[in-house]
């Protein structure tokens, strides 16, 4: 497959004929509304919850794999599904908590979180905060807004499964963001000495693989960090501007002040598909195909409309997309994951690399920790045509691991 999102869409197995599906609207602790889909099969007493901070997982490829093995499956969205302009991860925790409370109320004996891709860091963040009580939890977002995690009911899940979890939206963007952008208002501005797609720096037009010298790699990665820091400064200045406008409006009836208080201060982040590993397979090598999560030509998709963090509020930038400010990094949160844990790496992943799996393994605090590796790409595709999909192989690993710890069937008729 070529073009945008190459490898993202994979044919899934069919769910068992006896599957019962129901849709539920939930109210979060702070009054937001989120929805989820509960699928059950006869006898299921363990439910696996899938969630992603910014995507709809209703038809995720692991759903039928888990149902076929006797587990119920809950797929849930956040309040920012498919529109992450204002995605604040601390709010997404309240969304996840509403789902966990709902599942406890349904009478399941065990609840398990399953985080794939960006869902991995989200659920690591959830486990970390759910394991704390009261004032130990985060009280404010990185932008300084109050967040009522301390008062929220946040049940601790019985286990955590992570399948191809990338390091978090911010940490992922740190490796994707193009550091050659010299003018944040100009999508074509580029410092040639930091341009990953400049032949003088090691780039080769596909299908040839690029090769970057170690000195360039180190300079490039530091420049990526520097750009994120500059964007943090912009975000914080806009947060301060908005705060000052709200304070003026609080004591004023002037419509000009009111307009200033509600005016959006959205950031535009150009060029966020420039990870060197997308075009240089010798960096952190694995079975991945040439290209990125967005397509086979990062030298082109990097300049396109679609991309991580392309449009976002300053609050969302600081909470979700800044590796320097976000609370939601996988490795940062992993020491708070103490429930039995399965970490599954996919051999051809374009977002969770072998070095990531090693770092995550070292950071996770669970005493019952299992690491597994299967063939497949980040979105569950096969490495070679005709092979089982990554989802099928990962589903087998997850199913066996769960069956060893939690029974797949009910002993009674209570619950869904």
310-351 residue pLDDT tens: 999 999 999 999 999 999 999 999 999 999 999 999 999 999
Distance CA 252, CA 248 (A): 6
pLDDT at residue 409, as a whole number: 54
CATH among 3.20.20.70, 3.40.640.10, 1.20.1630.10, 3.40.50.1820 for 20-172+318-405:
3.40.50.1820
pLDDT at residue 260, as a whole number: 81
Q: Which residues contact 386 (CB under 8 A, 6 or more apart)?
A: none
pLDDT at residue 332, as a whole number: 98
273-290 residue pLDDT tens: 999 999 999 999 999 999
Going from N- to C-terminal start, the domains of the chain cover 20-172+318-405, 177-310
- Write the DSSP assignment of 258-288 as a string of letters: HHHHH----EE-------GGGT-TTSS--SP
Distance CA 414, CA 411 (A): 9
Q: Are the C-beta atoms of residues 204 and 211 closer than 8 Å to each other?
A: yes
Two structure tokens written together for 328: 């939601």
pLDDT at residue 11, as a whole number: 57
Low-confidence ranges of the chain (pLDDT < 70): 1-12, 408-416
Output the CA–CA distances (angstroms, integers) from residue 277 to 160, 274, 292, 296, in the order listed.
29, 9, 8, 13
């Amino acid at each position: 497959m070529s073009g945008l999102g190459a490898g993202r869409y994979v044919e899934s197995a069919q769910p068992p004929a006896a599957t019962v599906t129901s849709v539920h609207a939930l109210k979060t602790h702070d009054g937001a509304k989120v929805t989820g889909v509960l699928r059950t099969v006869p006898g299921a007493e363990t439910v696996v919850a899938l969630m992603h901070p910014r995507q709809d997982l209703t038809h995720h490829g692991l759903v039928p794999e888990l149902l076929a093995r006797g587990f119920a499956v809950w797929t849930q969205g956040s309040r920012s599904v498919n529109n992450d302009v204002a995605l604040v991860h601390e709010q997404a925790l309240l969304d996840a908590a509403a789902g966990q409370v709902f599942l406890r109320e349904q009478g399941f004996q065990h609840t398990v979180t399953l985080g794939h891709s960006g869902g991995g860091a989200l659920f690591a963040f959830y486990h970390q905060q759910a394991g704390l009580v009261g004032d130990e939890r985060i009280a404010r977002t990185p932008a300084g807004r109050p967040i009522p995690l301390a008062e929220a009911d946040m049940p601790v899940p019985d286990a955590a499964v992570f399948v191809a979890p990338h390091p978090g939206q911010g940490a992922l963007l740190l490796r994707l963001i193009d550091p050659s952008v010299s003018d944040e208002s100009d999508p074509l501005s580029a410092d040639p000495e930091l341009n990953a797609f400049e032949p003088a720096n090691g780039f080769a037009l596909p299908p040839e693989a690029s090769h970057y010298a170690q000195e360039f790699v180190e300079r490039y990665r530091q420049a990526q960090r520097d750009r994120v820091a500059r964007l943090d400064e912009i975000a914080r200045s806009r947060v301060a501007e908005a705060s000052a406008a709200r304070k003026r409006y609080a004591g004023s009836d002037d419509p000009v002040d009111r307009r200033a208080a509600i005016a959006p201060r959205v950031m535009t982040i150009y060029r966020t598909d420039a990870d060197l590993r997308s075009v240089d397979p010798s960096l952190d090598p694995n079975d991945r195909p040439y290209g990125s999560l967005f397509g086979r030509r990062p030298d082109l998709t990097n300049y396109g409309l679609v991309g991580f963090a392309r449009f976002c509020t300053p609050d969302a930038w600081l909470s979700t997309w800044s590796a320097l400010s976000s609370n939601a990094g996988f490795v940062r949160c992993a020491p708070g994951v103490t429930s039995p844990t399965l970490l599954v790496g996919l051999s051809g992943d374009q977002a969770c690399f072998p070095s990531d799996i090693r770092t995550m393994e070292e950071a996770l605090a669970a005493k019952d920790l299992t690491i597994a590796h299967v063939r497949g790409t980040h979105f569950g595709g096969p490495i070679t045509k005709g092979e089982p999909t990554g989802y099928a192989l990962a589903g087998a690993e997850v199913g066996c691991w769960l069956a060893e710890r939690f029974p797949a069937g009910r002993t009674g008729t209570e619950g869904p």
